[in-house]
Chains A and B, each alone.
Chain A
Amino acid sequence: MTANDFIQIGVYLVVLLLLIKPMGRYMAHVYADQPNRITRLGGGVERFVYRICGVNAEEDMSWKHYAIAMLLFNVMGMLAVYAFQRTQQWLPLNPQHFPALSPDLSINTAISFITNTNWQAYSGESAMSYLTQMAALAVQNFMSAATGIAVAIAVVRGFARKTVKGIGNFWVDLTRTTLYVLMPVSFLLAMLLVSQGVIQNFKAYVDVPVAQTSTYANPVTDAAGNPVKDASGNAVTKPAQLTTQTLPMGPAASQIAIKMLGTNGGGFFGANSAHPYENPTPFSNFLEMLAIFLIPGGLCITFGEMVGDRRQGWAILATMLVIFIPLAIGVTAAEQSGNPILHSLSIDQHASALQSGGNMEGKETRFGIAASSLFTAITTAASCGAVNNMHDSLTPLGGLVPMWLMQLGEVIFGGVGSGLYGMLAFAVVAVFIAGLMVGRTPEYIGKKIEAYEMKMASLAVLIPCALVVICTAIAVMTPTATATVGNPGAHGFSEMLYTVTSATNNNGSAFGGLSANIPFWNVMLSVCMFWARYMLAIAMLAMAGSLAAKKHVPESAGTLPTHTPLFVTLLASVVIIVGALTFLPALALGPIAEYLMSAH
Chain B
Amino acid sequence: MSRLIRNAVTMLLVMTIITGIAYPLVATGVAQMLFPHQANGSLIVKDGKPIGSELIGQYFDDPRYFWGRPSATTPQPNNGTASNGSNLGPTNTALRDAVQQRIDALRKADPGNATPVPADLVTASGSGLDPDISPAAAQYQVARVAHARHLSAEQVLALVTQFTQGRQLGLLGEPRVNVLQLNLALDGLQSK
Which residues of chain A (238-291) have a CB below 8 Å from chain B?
A: 240, 242, 245-249, 251, 253-255, 258, 269-271, 274-277, 280-283, 285-286
Establish whether residues A598 and B91, one from each chain, have CB atoms under 8 Å apart when the complex forms: yes
State in angstroms the CA–CA spacing of A197 and B168 once bound together: 14
- The yes or no answer to B127 lying at the interface (CB within 8 A) is yes
- The yes or no answer to B192 lying at the interface (CB within 8 A) is no
* B168 (CB) vs chain A CBs: closest residue: A282
Interface string of A37-80 (1 = CB under 8 A from B): 00000000000010011110000000000001100110111001
Residues from chain B with Cβ under 8 Å of A209 in the complex: 51
Query: Of the candidates A80, A171, A486, which one forms a contact with B16 in the assembled complex, judged by CB atoms under 8 Å apart?
Result: A80
Establish whether residues B96 and A354, one from each chain, have CB atoms under 8 Å apart when the complex forms: no
Residues from chain B with Cβ under 8 Å of A393 in the complex: 85-90, 95
Establish whether residues B41 and A126, one from each chain, have CB atoms under 8 Å apart when the complex forms: no
Decide yes or no: A270 and B84 within 8 Å by CB, A142-B19, A143-B15, A200-B27 being known contacts: yes
- The yes or no answer to A206 lying at the interface (CB within 8 A) is yes
Establish whether residues B95 and A354, one from each chain, have CB atoms under 8 Å apart when the complex forms: no
Establish whether residues A366 and B132, one from each chain, have CB atoms under 8 Å apart when the complex forms: yes
* B67 (CB) vs chain A CBs: closest residue: A212
- The yes or no answer to A535 lying at the interface (CB within 8 A) is no
Establish whether residues A52 and B120, one from each chain, have CB atoms under 8 Å apart when the complex forms: no
* A141 (CB) vs chain B CBs: closest residue: B19
Which residues of chain A (490-547) have a CB below 8 Å from chain B?
A: 490-491, 494-495, 511-513
**What are 28 A-B contacts with C-beta separation under 8 Å?**
A53-B11, A53-B14, A80-B12, A138-B20, A142-B15, A179-B18, A187-B26, A200-B27, A200-B28, A201-B31, A210-B59, A212-B58, A214-B60, A245-B56, A277-B41, A282-B174, A341-B93, A345-B96, A354-B139, A355-B136, A355-B137, A360-B120, A365-B120, A365-B134, A366-B174, A390-B87, A393-B90, A494-B89
Residues of B within 8 A of A (CB): 1, 3-12, 14-16, 18-21, 23-24, 26-28, 30-32, 34-35, 38-43, 50-62, 65, 69, 75-93, 95-96, 99-100, 103, 114-120, 122-137, 139, 167-169, 171-176, 180, 183-184, 187
Residues of A within 8 A of B (CB): 4, 7-8, 11, 49, 52-55, 68-69, 72-73, 75-77, 80, 123, 125-126, 134-136, 138-139, 142-143, 171, 174-175, 178-179, 182-183, 186-187, 190-191, 194-203, 205-206, 208-212, 214, 216-219, 237, 240, 242, 245-249, 251, 253-255, 258, 269-271, 274-277, 280-283, 285-286, 338-339, 341-342, 345-349, 352-368, 370-372, 387-390, 392-396, 399, 486-491, 494-495, 511-513, 594, 597-598
4 closest A-B pairs by CB: A282-B173, A274-B126, A368-B174, A390-B85
